[in-house]
Amino acid sequence: MPVTVPFVDLNLQHQPIQSQIEQAIQEVLHRGDFILGQALREFESEFAKACGVEHGIGVACGTDAIALGLNACGIGPGDEVILPANTFIATLIGVLHAGATPILVECDPDTALLDLNAAEKAITAKTRALLPVHLYGQLVSPAQLQDLANAHNLLIFEDAAQAHLAHREGKTAGSVGIAAGFSFYPSKNLGAFGDGGMVVTRDEAIATKMRTLRNYGAPQKYRHTELGTNSRLDTIQAAILKTKLPYLKDWNQARYACAQHYDALLEPLQEKGIVPIRNCSGSGHVYHLYVIRVTDKCAIDKATFQEKLASLGIQSGIHYPLPCHLQPGYLHLGYKSGQFPNAEMLCEQIVSLPMYPGLQETQIEQVVDAIKSAVD
């Protein structure tokens, strides 16, 4: 069966602006400022502004944004950082590369977001930061995060890798905490033509420290004041991202419209056991992914469900099939199977449906028809 509805289609996004992107790349070639060049500085400032903060510091990827960002906030060895068990492994890698101690906690079964009650219970004298993940494109409640952080004198560092320009309660992703990490992996809501990431912050001292850390620990050339690394966003990637940034709002709106169409069409299938992950932030949700649960109420199991979709030409994904605490390389952290029942239940039940700007209503209808025939 040929693919009728792909999981994602980046060409739809790039073709209409291809000449603009090519021109932006050409300009970098002509200037030759490939490392820490003009387009990087411009994109850093434009992206930070879009997030509602002053400073943006481009890095090589989202994983580095978390690792270096935490270090720039003064978090490292001996410090505990609280994060959800159901996230992409990069969140956990970021904490470990920062040298800090990750404390995994449970998530809410309906939104799949960090459970702040569970987070509060995990706080110890060593806890320095909360690391909420704005999973699938929806913010963890900024008001509740700030209440918890204030009550225990904690920093908030956001993993906003899936939440470019998402907002909730009047706050934009990246402006909730002291700093935030973004990823520009190609399929993210704002994606490069390769890897890329950024730390955004309102704090000038953190921004300065970040610029040093990403550039060999050198506040000025050939003067190395600390152990840094080489993690910079390429100027060419920044030029591409800067060209794409003005379209991001429209792309997010298109994703939201697709999600609303899915929501409406899937509503009657609730009784058959198909339950979308709950949106608690209205149009502030940027739907990096549209995720449903194939619950126990369904007539078939998830593997059969996905096979049925595939047989009808519809691609789907799972984000993510195994929670962080059960990943084979991380068992030494000491967590056990059964410790986070919601996170483990979600891994078993979730399926991500096709979602991208340019996805047609008729395609969404095809997907839902396929789901109907699968669960009937």
Interacting residues toward ligand PLP by CB under 6 A: 61-63, 87-88, 90-91, 133, 159, 161-162, 183, 185, 195, 197
Residue whose CB is nearest to ligand PLP in the complex, by number: 62
Measured distance CA(163)–CA(173) in Å, rounded: 6
- Token pair 């799972």: residue: 318
Residue 88 vs 157, nearer CB to ligand PLP = 88
Measured distance CA(182)–CA(168) in Å, rounded: 17
- Token pair 């073709």: residue: 15
Question: Shortest distance, CB of residue 182 to ligand PLP, whole angstroms?
Answer: 8
Question: Shortest distance, CB of residue 273 to ligand PLP, whole angstroms?
Answer: 27
The contacts of residue 76 (CB under 8 Å, 6+ apart) are 70, 98, 99, 100
The contacts of residue 227 (CB under 8 Å, 6+ apart) are 217
Residue 286 vs 375, nearer CB to ligand PLP = 286
Question: Shortest distance, CB of residue 151 to ligand PLP, whole angstroms?
Answer: 26
Question: Shortest distance, CB of residue 191 to ligand PLP, whole angstroms?
Answer: 10
52: left (phi over 0), alpha (psi -120 to 50) or beta: left
Question: Shortest distance, CB of residue 282 to ligand PLP, whole angstroms?
Answer: 21
Residue 179 vs 298, nearer CB to ligand PLP = 179
8 A C-beta contact, residue 147 and residue 119? no
Which DSSP string corresponds to 146-159?
A: HHHHHHHT-EEEEE
Residue 180 vs 375, nearer CB to ligand PLP = 180
Question: Shortest distance, CB of residue 180 to ligand PLP, whole angstroms?
Answer: 11
How are strands ordered across the β-sheet holding 179-183?
A: 55-59, 197-201, 179-183, 155-159, 127-130, 80-84, 101-105
